[in-house]
A = this chain, B = another copy of it.
Amino acid sequence: MIKKILLTKTGYTFFIRDLSQAYHTKEGFIKKADLKKNNVVIKTNKGEEMFILEPTFVDQYKKIKRGPQVILPKDIGTIITETGINSQSVVLDAGGGSGSLSCFLAHLVKTVYCYEIRPDFVKIIEENKTQFDLKNLEIKNQDVIKKIDEKNLDLITLDLPEPWHVLPHVEKALKPGAFLVVYLPTITQVIQFVAEVKKTKKLFYLKTLENLQRHWVVDDKIVRPEIQMLGHTGFIIVARKVVK
């Protein structure tokens, strides 16, 4: 677990897990005594100034243990704002991977059920659950393609290669009016998935979108978009249970 973060004047962040000894950086080391401080400017032995902070959720989240593919905050934001989930919501997240989406959602909603078939990934999700102290996250080492135990869910999120196989369970598990959000890296998967949603009786396909986030350098006279940009993460497909 991250105990403190150091923010340099250039905007770089150090994540400190061990406060029992001095913390070494390229710009010098921070004394053990200084690591106990909060929300002040401290100096390395080389005189470099840094801010020391207690980590919040988003700081911890930046260092969450991750699997190969992860849904980024820009796309999590869409999941939240398209579906209106809040602290009253009960959510199922399947294809949990490292659990990064499940953890973010558990921070926001009442309960998250995270389905993950691979035991090695379940172990990572459990570590992440512990790190964030998310008692409302229930991890299930079972195959969502076989069944969904829950009923009356406010949201189901799927991050799986072939999410169409889950549709019969989704139709039963969602509360009427509730949402299904699927995250897919290729447009070929999107085409197949949307076709399958349109064949169901209870689900209605709403939209497919992608988020391009552009970061800017704003540094006195140098004001321009950043040169490198993420050109693609995944497509987000939103469907809704319209028939009970």
Residue positions of A touching B, CB distance < 8 A:
7, 11, 38-41, 51, 53-54, 56-58, 61, 73-74, 76-78, 80-84, 86-87, 104, 107-108, 176-178, 185-188, 190-191, 194-195, 204-216, 218, 220-233, 235, 237, 240-244
B87:A186 contact, CB within 8 angstroms:
no
Question: A177-B54, A224-B185, A224-B232 in contact; A7/B242 too (CB < 8 A)?
Answer: yes
**Copies of chain A in the complex:** 4
Of chain B, the residue at the smallest CB distance from A107 is B86
Q: Which 8 A-B pairs rank lowest in CB-CB distance, beginning with the nearest? A: A77-B77, A229-B231, A73-B81, A87-B87, A225-B232, A39-B176, A57-B84, A39-B244
Q: Which of B77, B195, B242 contacts A39 (CB 8 A)?
A: B242
A228 to chain B, nearest CB (A): 6
Contacts of A231 in B (CB 8 A): 214-215, 225-229
